[in-house]
Amino acid sequence: MKPVKIAMMGMTHGHTRKYYQTLLENQKLDWVASCAADERAKEVYELYKTGVPCYLDPEKMLAEHPDIEAIVLASANDRHFEEMKFCAERGIHILSMKIPSFDMKEYDAMIDMVEKAGIVCQIELEMHYNPVVKRLQQEIASGKLGKLLSIQATNITLSPVWAFPWQGSPEASYGKRVPLAPGDKRFRGGALCDHPHIFDLIRWLTGSDYDTVFAQVAPNLRKELEVEDMLMAAGKLKDGTAFLFDPSWSRLEERLKVPAPGWEIFPKRMEVNVTITGEKGMIQCDCFGPNVYHNGAPNDRYTVQYTYFDEWIGLIDEFVDCIRNHKTPKINLKWHRQTIACMNSCYESVAKGAPVKVEGK
Amino acid sequence: MCKKMNESLAFLRDKYGIPAGEIVAGTEGFELALPDGKRIPLLPWRVERRFVELKKIIDGKTLEDVSTFRFAAFAPGSDPVKAAARELDLAVFLAGSPIERIFAVRNGNAACNVLARFANGMSASVECGSKLPANAAPMDRHEIIARRGVASDRAVDTQVPQSSIYEWTDAGFRTFTDTDTELFGLPDEQIPVVRAAFAVLKNPDLADEWIKAAGCMKKYAAAVTDSDAGNKAIEL
């Protein structure tokens, strides 16, 4: 199979660096270029010494590498529409970060332009390629638990805003400045926008979709932020499954400009745990554990050293397979729309202080 | 068993463009057979992700000035001397230094306790046992103690390995720990074997290193037996 000529664009997303090893090692890819959003992103990119040239102008990148077939859009949420348009107009396949857009009109326009261009557009929801999640899906599909009745899930992390400031900007993260609720000085665009995984996962596990959701925010742990960092959501799926989600930035961090060892203050900086109750039993699941642990440099704090972290390998494999074999990715724009709709409904619920019916397809 | 492992190895070789080789059963464990007839003993623990990560923690100076390794390995019906030799090889790999002295006490084939000293001055204790009931999962623990920091593959305040998934159903209680997306579905104990074969094929320099290390493991096993028999420390 001819390797896919691939590039990265933006380089400001928190997941950017997680692609480097996979893009370099996978024989089915030829990583030819990167294009940073600005000088600062280029400087950070160059710290990792990938050996892949980095541009600041996408047109220049394409002029130098006209054979680019696919681009990973590793950028702030408010850049996605323009970048997708750039790719679609040129017939370049897209691997989009986890939030294509919160603006549903813009989102539908993305679906439209991708369909018209006939390109692959895969959404980066890497949990699908996590071996623990794979096992979880297998166990549930086996029917051992019976019909699922309830799911609780955490997707809790430190806050990446100090290294990736756009994630603390309502405009760059949510797409516009929308107050959380009357009388609340904060705006949409914080922890919720960073954590779509559990909202997506429950749909896969149950085969059902959202009916209603109620969400509430708590006082921020980080007073400087103008977006929410603590919230919870509870609701029901159409098949009756009850859920309770915690998508907060509830783990404090050192305010590093570039992610590095010692970033975390709480020992485990990222957790996706799922508890499932079925008619015939229950499961508790830690998607990122067990690991190895230390209390060494730089801060002598007890720290979880993530040991099994290869989601990006499977994700990229699927992307290449879809491009070369003209398939539709599991997580495509149309599928992901309901996940985004539910996240928007969470914000609406916070604003109203009441449960909200999740918008239909 | 080798058939499934070789299918998985073929998948990795194809994906990453790595040369040919086949996993075969050897006298002391699995080996990699190369097309030229050469056989390389596989040391799967050296590529097990938790140990790779512990080595990174040492080599990257997250721990400073390592002093002592405290290892334990218990498995149903295992040979505690061979298990000790394997744990000692792991300690050598992590310490980056050869062992110069071994003292051991055994109680038949049930248990084997070893104290080892490395050429660089580090110390290791290894506890091994074979009396877990037949269906019990192997139990092990690896702790590295340094002037700055302690690292371990077991979480603080736990005595036994944790799992990713705990499942309670009418069929009873089960646990799962899946760690490798590419080799998902292969039994847990086979995954490091495939990864070890892949590592040697990817990095041929490992072949001589592992042949030498396997030779050393035989010396560790002999030293353990001799030390226990003579109640004396054995210099290597």
| Tokens at B103, concatenated | 């003292």
| CB-closest option in A26, A131, A290 to B162 | A290
- Distance CA(A341)–CA(B142), nearest Å, equals 46
Q: How many CB atoms within 10 Å of residue A126?
A: 20
Q: Determine whether the interchain pair B181/A134 forms a contact, defined as Cβ–Cβ distance below 8 Å.
A: yes
CA B22 to chain A, closest CA, distance in angstroms equals 21
Looking at the structure of chain B, the number of domains it has is 1
Q: Which residues pair with B128 in a beta bridge?
A: B73, B112
Does some domain include residue B2? no
Question: A130-188: per-residue pLDDT in tens?
Answer: 999 999 999 999 999 999 999 999 999 999 999 999 999 999 999 999 999 999 999 99
Location of each CATH 3.30.360.10 domain in chain A: 127-308+330-357
Question: A43-76: per-residue pLDDT in tens?
Answer: 999 999 999 999 999 999 999 999 999 999 999 9
Q: Determine whether the interchain pair A293/B152 forms a contact, defined as Cβ–Cβ distance below 8 Å.
A: yes
Mutate to test the interface with A, among B8, B47, B152, B169 (most CBs of A within 10 A): B169
Does some domain include residue B47? yes
| Contact with chain A for residue B175, Cβ under 8 A | no
Does position A15 have pLDDT exceeding 90, yes or no? no
What number of CA atoms fall less than 13 Å from residue A60's CA on the CB side?
A: 8
Question: By CA distance, what is A291's nearest residue in B?
Answer: B153
Chain B residues closer than 8 Å to A27 by CB: 15-17
Statement: A4-126 belongs to CATH 3.40.50.720: yes
CA B145 to chain A, closest CA, distance in angstroms equals 10
CA A224 to chain B, closest CA, distance in angstroms equals 31
CA B181 to chain A, closest CA, distance in angstroms equals 5
| CB-closest option in A289, A302, A310 to B164 | A289
**What CATH number belongs to A127-308+330-357?**
3.30.360.10
Chain B residues closer than 8 Å to A287 by CB: 164
Give the residue carrying structure tokens 């019909």.
A147
What residues make up the domain containing B176?
A: 43-180+212-231
Q: Which long-range contacts (CB under 8 A, 24 or more apart) does B5-11 make?
A: B5/B30, B5/B186, B5/B190, B5/B193, B5/B194, B5/B197, B8/B183, B8/B186, B8/B190, B8/B194, B9/B194, B9/B197, B9/B198, B9/B201, B11/B182
Does some domain include residue B129? yes
H or E, element range at B107:
strand B99-107
- Distance CA(A343)–CA(A341), nearest Å, equals 5
Does some domain include residue B171? yes
Q: Determine whether the interchain pair B151/A296 forms a contact, defined as Cβ–Cβ distance below 8 Å.
A: yes
**What b/e string do you get for A308-338 counting C-beta neighbours within 10 Å, with b at 16 or more?**
bebbbbbbbbbbbebbeeeeebbbbbebbbb
Does some domain include residue B140? yes
- The confidence band for A224, taking pLDDT boundaries of 50, 70 and 90, is very high
Contact B123, B131 (CB under 8 A): no
Q: How many helices (H) and strands (E) does chain A have?
A: 11, 15
Bond into A329 cis (ω within 30) = no
Count residue pairs from A and B with Cβ separation < 8 A: 129
| Contact with chain A for residue B150, Cβ under 8 A | yes
- Distance CA(A83)–CA(B163), nearest Å, equals 41
| CB-closest option in A145, A282, A293 to B156 | A293
* Burial tier of B114 (Cβ tally within 10 Å: 0-12, 13-18, 19+): buried
Question: By CA distance, what is B65's nearest residue in A?
Answer: A296
Q: Where are the beta strands (DSSP E) in chain A?
A: 4-10, 29-36, 54-55, 70-73, 93-96, 121-123, 148-157, 210-217, 231-237, 242-246, 270-278, 281-286, 292-294, 303-305, 356-357
Question: A118-131: per-residue pLDDT in tens?
Answer: 999 999 999 999 99
Q: Determine whether the interchain pair B61/A310 forms a contact, defined as Cβ–Cβ distance below 8 Å.
A: no
pLDDT at B15: 87
Give the residue carrying structure tokens 């002295």.
B101
pLDDT at A361: 60
| CB-closest option in A130, A135, A281 to B170 | A281
Question: By CA distance, what is B51's nearest residue in A?
Answer: A292
Mutate to test the interface with B, among A2, A134, A294 (most CBs of B within 10 A): A294
Those residues whose C-beta lies under 8 Å from the C-beta of residue A107, and which sit 6 or more positions away, are A100, A101, A333, A337, A340
Kind of pairing, strands A121-123 and A93-96? parallel
- The confidence band for A230, taking pLDDT boundaries of 50, 70 and 90, is very high
Three-state secondary structure call for residue A357: strand
Q: Determine whether the interchain pair B166/A284 forms a contact, defined as Cβ–Cβ distance below 8 Å.
A: yes
- Distance CA(A337)–CA(A326), nearest Å, equals 21
CATH code for the domain of B227: 3.30.360.10
Give the residue carrying structure tokens 């074999």.
A325
Those residues whose C-beta lies under 8 Å from the C-beta of residue A218, and which sit 6 or more positions away, are A230, A231, A232, A248
Contact A50, A20 (CB under 8 A): yes
Contact A202, A233 (CB under 8 A): no
Does position A309 have pLDDT exceeding 80, yes or no? no
Mutate to test the interface with A, among B45, B167, B170, B198 (most CBs of A within 10 A): B167
Q: Determine whether the interchain pair A292/B179 forms a contact, defined as Cβ–Cβ distance below 8 Å.
A: no
What percentage of chain B reaches a pLDDT higher than 70?
100
Q: Determine whether the interchain pair B180/A131 forms a contact, defined as Cβ–Cβ distance below 8 Å.
A: yes
Chain A residues closer than 8 Å to B63 by CB: 294, 296-297
Which positions 272-331 of A are in contact with B (Cβ < 8 Å)?
Answer: 280-287, 289-297, 300, 302, 305, 307-308, 310-311, 313-314
- Distance CA(B223)–CA(B202), nearest Å, equals 33
- Average pLDDT on A267-271 reads 97
Chain B residues closer than 8 Å to A25 by CB: 16
pLDDT at B144: 98
Contact A258, A44 (CB under 8 A): yes
Does some domain include residue B74? yes
Mutate to test the interface with A, among B181, B183, B191 (most CBs of A within 10 A): B181
Chain A residues closer than 8 Å to B156 by CB: 293, 302
Q: Determine whether the interchain pair A294/B165 forms a contact, defined as Cβ–Cβ distance below 8 Å.
A: no
For chain B, 236 residues long, give each residue's pLDDT as a single digit of tens. Answer: 799 999 999 999 998 889 999 999 999 999 999 999 999 999 999 999 999 999 999 999 999 999 999 999 999 998 999 999 999 999 999 999 999 999 999 999 999 999 999 999 999 999 999 999 999 999 999 999 999 999 999 999 999 999 999 999 999 999 999 999 999 999 999 999 999 999 999 999 999 999 999 999 999 999 999 999 999 999 99
What residue type is assigned to position A11 of the chain? M
- Distance CA(A8)–CA(B44), nearest Å, equals 35
Does some domain include residue B167? yes
Does position A104 have pLDDT exceeding 90, yes or no? yes
Q: Determine whether the interchain pair A283/B164 forms a contact, defined as Cβ–Cβ distance below 8 Å.
A: no
What residue type is assigned to position B110 of the chain? A
pLDDT at A1: 80
- Distance CA(A283)–CA(A300), nearest Å, equals 34
| Tokens at B65, concatenated | 């000035």
Location of each CATH 3.40.50.720 domain in chain A: 4-126
Average pLDDT of chain A is: 96
| Tokens at B85, concatenated | 């030799």
| CB-closest option in A290, A297, A310 to B149 | A297
Bond into A100 cis (ω within 30) = no
* pTM across the whole model: 0.94
| CB-closest option in A294, A297, A313 to B182 | A313
Does some domain include residue B143? yes
